[in-house]
Amino acid sequence: MKLVWLRRDLRAEDNTALYHASISGEPVLAIYVATPDSWQAHDLAPIQADLIYRRLFEVQKDLQQNNIPLVYAQVATFAESAQLVAKLAREHAVTGVYFNKEYEVNEVQRDSQLVDLLAADGIEWHGFDDKCLLPPGSVKNKQGDYFKVFTPFKRAYLAKMYQSPWRVTKLQPLTQQAVWRDEIVSELSPRSSFDYPRQTSERYAVDTESIIKQLRQFDSDRADAYEKQRDFPAVAGTSKLSPYLAIGALSVRQCMARLTYQQALPLVGGREIWQSELIWREFYQHLIYFEPKLSKGRSFTPWGDALIWKNNPAWIEAWKTGTTGYPIVDAAMKQLNATGWMHNRLRMIVASFLVKDLHVDWRIGESYFMSKLIDGDYAANNGGWQWCASTGCDGQPYFRIFNPVTQGERFDPEGHFVCTWIPELAKLPKKYIHQPWKAPNAKALSYPAPIVDHKTEREITLALYKEAKDNGNGA
């Protein structure tokens, strides 16, 4: 019998480990192991935990159609999950364990532990680079090293993707069914232990048909206009597929296949821009693989660790609760806290504000985002925060500092998004919505005054960054 260990690859279709196990000629059984203590240490958002929990039942249905049972267990940590899988493989005559690799440090250590345990018992293991369309190490520069800047990475990535054959795989129903009886694991049921806080994710469908339908609808209805609409949070211009990519309910291959289907290559316009967003996700996965320090709270740039942060607790709390006095920042944070999602343009604005207006360590923002986001993905979240903090691999200089007023005026010109989340500003004339402190009746508003002056804090940031870059070595 073959055992497939599911993690952040919660799908039956286009799942490399499942596919290879299914063509082995032996019965296949899938297992999912919850690890609440490790999840807590990694700031797993309760809303994403709920999405995972709900999605598991749909994966179970999909696998049952292929005569593959899904069993479930819960232990505290990653290390214990590796031990459990190895123990079950040993005690139940499993001939091979299949899994899709993850690239963060703790996950790599977990899988290394599993491999050692299986090898000691003489059990075969098969790890697959399923998380990326082009796995880490397959896209390199002329010197044979990994890329540290996105644009040349993208060029090399596309050249290789268009030249190398790749496909979306489909499971074929097995004629035999694996049988498992054990006191530790059981069939997934509503009674299964899932001891982690959950916040409802009901607004997100979790059945495979709905997820694929959403991908197809974005492709047919909004992909071509994505370039023009994606930066405006009041417009439904994005795909909203990131939660499914984050937990592996959808693969990047499925997205890329749909995006390029019957299209002339290379892509242009909105399709090319959305393709770039997919490749950004791949880029950050590659970086996490080659730079383990990114999983350990370190800056990509050595001087980034020499930055001095104020970390004012009151300012941090105002940022978290959406009470900074800057409407576009506050509306975005209220959206995050209420829904577990935030528009990508807004993520850049609020991250820049926290780091460069409030002088708060980007790691604090990174952790808070992970604790709230339904689409939290460590590599993408880390990459985004370091991009905004100018401590990551980015060709732009550190003096890129977003002005929260002009950003609001540019990307929410009518104030529709802001007034959705801060209705007390809806009665203001449009010219005051993004700087309500200038309105004649500002004192009568039930809305706070700005906690900092952007122009003043910008100058402080420039000085702090210059000092760190001139003197810091990251040692």
> Which residues are known catalytic residues?
277, 280, 309, 344, 362, 385
Give me the amino acid identity at 151.
T
Closest of 171, 186, 196, 189 to residue 51, by C-alpha = 196
Cβ count within 10 A of residue 11? 24
Closest of 249, 271, 251, 254 to residue 204, by C-alpha = 249
Using CA atoms, how far apart are residues 440 and 442, in angstroms rounded to an integer? 6
Our measurement of the distance from residue 425's CA atom to the centroid of its chain's CA atoms, rounded to an integer in Å, reads 32
DSSP β-bridge partners for residue 301 = none
Contact (CB, 8 A) for 402 and 365: no
Strands 186-187 and 70-74: what pairing?
antiparallel
Q: Which residue has the tokens 């469908």?
A: 205
What is the 3 state secondary structure string of 120-175?
HCCCEEEEECCCCCCCCCCCECCCCCECCCHHHHHHHHHHHHHHCCCCCCCCCCCC
Using CA atoms, how far apart are residues 217 and 239, in angstroms rounded to an integer? 9
Write the DSSP symbol of residue 279.
H
Quick check: helix, strand or coil at residue 29?
A: strand
Give the DSSP H or E segment for 2. strand 2-6
Pull the structure tokens for residue 203.
């607004």
- Per the document, the length of the chain is 475
Half-sphere exposure of 428 (CA within 13 A, CB side): 28
Contact (CB, 8 A) for 388 and 258: no
Contact (CB, 8 A) for 26 and 179: no
Using CA atoms, how far apart are residues 244 and 377, in angstroms rounded to an integer? 11
Contact (CB, 8 A) for 246 and 94: no
* Cis ω before 266 (30° cut-off from 0): yes
Contact (CB, 8 A) for 154 and 276: yes
Quick check: helix, strand or coil at residue 100?
A: strand
